[in-house]
Amino acid sequence: MRNILLRGGRVVDPSQDLDSRLDLLISDGTIAEIAESIEAGSDVREIDLGGAVVAPGLVDMHVHLRDPGREDEETIASGSEAAVHGGVTALAAMPNTEPAIDTPSWVEYVRTRSHLIDVHPIAAITVGRRGETLTEMAELAAAGAVAFSDDGSPVASARVMRRALEYADMVGRPVVSHCEDLDLVGDGVANEGLASTISGLRPSPAAAEDVAVARDVILAGATGARVHIAHVSTRGSVQIVRRAKADGIRVTCETCPHYFALTDDAVRSYDTSLRINPPLRSEEDVAAIRTGLADGTIDAIASDHAPHSLEEKQVEFDAAPPGAIGLETLLPVTITHLVETGVIGLARAIELLSASPARILRIEGGTLARGARADVTVFDPARSWTLERAWFRSKSKNSPFIGATLLGRVAITISKGRIVFEEGPAPEGAPDNAHEERAADVGELPLRA
């Protein structure tokens, strides 16, 4: 296998507490050496980074790939292309497909379909995601399920959730809980507050999330099992998780870029790309999410990438299915709204996007330590650019950030020692290795437009 020498990058790796200008050599698919100056041996492709950031490949722990069932919206293949375009080298795929991922053969299907990156299946908590009978978690785990979740639908029964937590913990996997009390949500489509009052959109209260988070945290405490709270969006959730952690309860949680970058005020435009579950929240909630990210209450940033076709989203706001794509904008939205604004430093951002989710799911990735598998993301944190619809590689384009000016852009993504994405004009339908060949001819990469 060919070797790659990344020369003169700013290597930021929170797993080793590293942030300095170093060379990094990838050999035989692993990180071979990190040093101030590395001699280029033979059969090495040398890339001069000119100060661009070299980070562990991003790990997105919450992705909907729609495969099997809605291959018109996304497939494991197209989702993987989108992932590497966003610097993501490992992702966890949610099981709310058609059919749901609730058997070992479907876990196997999801786990083995991507030739670009690691796609880690999350299997359903209950058969058919119906909230009634537990799935065969031991067998699903053995087939490669890294966690269990009925995401998209909360587990309504506290009794079922209690048993799920106990059983999943026995097989060494966390339960990822979608926390919403649907009885309280009712027919709500927008956060209850001034924006829902003015827009007339049916309100969904923050309390619908808070009470569900409180229930699952209490159950985790009572059973001693591990729970991971998905897409935390409210101030109440952050407070509950913070207190639970202080009490020693085994709880982790994630938030998504739209919950720290956007407020519910945006839905007054009735733009259906802003119809998301849980809904975009108030300014006070956004402030609490940012604090939680900075003080360690929130453990990870995940995209909740939820592709929907144009036809499905080109309808009235309350008729649109919830969800927005986010795999490709995970890094720039984080840099723009957390790092540039001074909420957190770049190292903490990278930790939230790589090492921390990898640790929660106990999967490979999130480090540039010598000997580790070479999953690497190279990006220019200072590059300012305008997000256009045509830029996306996802099959779906339902992003709330189209038209936004963002900071930071991925230039190179390396998965298992292979360059799987490299910025540059890619001709349609080119084979994967064409990227490498073409870049070799160009020499130095134009990291700044």
Partner 1 sequence: MRWTAKHLLGLEGLSREEILTILDTAMIFREILDRPVKKVPTLRGITIVNLFFEPSTRTRMSFELAEKRLSADTLNFSASTSSLKKGETLRDTARNIEAMKVDMVVMRHPSPGAPHFLTRHLGASIVNAGDGAHEHPTQALLDLYTMRERVGDLASKRVTIVGDILHSRVVRSNVWGLRALGAEVTLAGPSTLMPAEAERLGVTVTHDLDEAIEDADIVNILRIQRERQEGSFLPSLREYTKLFGVDASRLPRMKDDVVIMHPGPINRGVEISPGVADGDRSVILQQVTNGVAVRMAVIYLLSRVLSSERAGETEMLEEVAL
Binding site for partner 1 (CB under 8 A): 186, 192-194, 196-203, 205, 269-270, 311, 314-319
- Max CA separation in the chain (angstroms): 67
The answer to whether 368 touches 376, Cβ cutoff 8 Å, is yes
What's the distance, CA 178 to chain centroid?
15
Give the shortest CB-191-to-partner 1 separation in angstroms.
Answer: 9
Q: Which helix (H) or strand (E) holds 252?
A: strand 251-255
Distance CA 350, CA 346 (A): 6
Distance between CA atoms of 436 and 101, rounded to whole angstroms? 35
Asked if residues 57 and 89 have their Cβ atoms less than 8 Å apart, the reply is: yes
Report residue 274 as tokens: 């802003």
Cβ 390 to partner 1 shortest distance, Å? 19
Residue for token digits 């919830």?
322
Minimum CB separation of residue 311 from partner 1 in Å reads 8
**Considering 118, 151, 299, 304, which one is annotated as catalytic?**
304
User: CB 318 → partner 1: shortest distance, Å?
Assistant: 5
Q: Give the span between the Cα atoms of 235 and 210, in whole angstroms.
A: 8
**Residue 285: CB minimum distance to partner 1, A:** 13
Q: Which is nearer to partner 1, 313 or 359 (CB)?
A: 313
The nearest distance, CB 258 to partner 1, in angstroms, is 19
Question: Which tokens go with 23?
Answer: 């060379």
Where b means 16+ CB within 10 Å and e means fewer, 252-283 reads: bbbbbbbbbbbbbbebbeeebbbbbbbbbbbe
For strand 53-56 and strand 376-386, is the pairing parallel, antiparallel, or unpaired?
antiparallel
Beta bridge partners of 403: none
Which one, 269 or 386, has the nearer CB to partner 1? 269
Backbone phi, psi, residue 268, to 5°: -65, -15
**413 φ/ψ angles, rounded to the nearest 5 degrees:** -125, 125
Active site annotation includes 304: yes
Minimum Å gap between C-beta 402 and partner 1 is 14
Distances (CA, A) of 66 to 72, 128, 206, 304, 326: 9, 15, 28, 12, 14
* Closer residue to partner 1 in complex, CB, 316/441: 316
Cite the active site residues.
Answer: 304
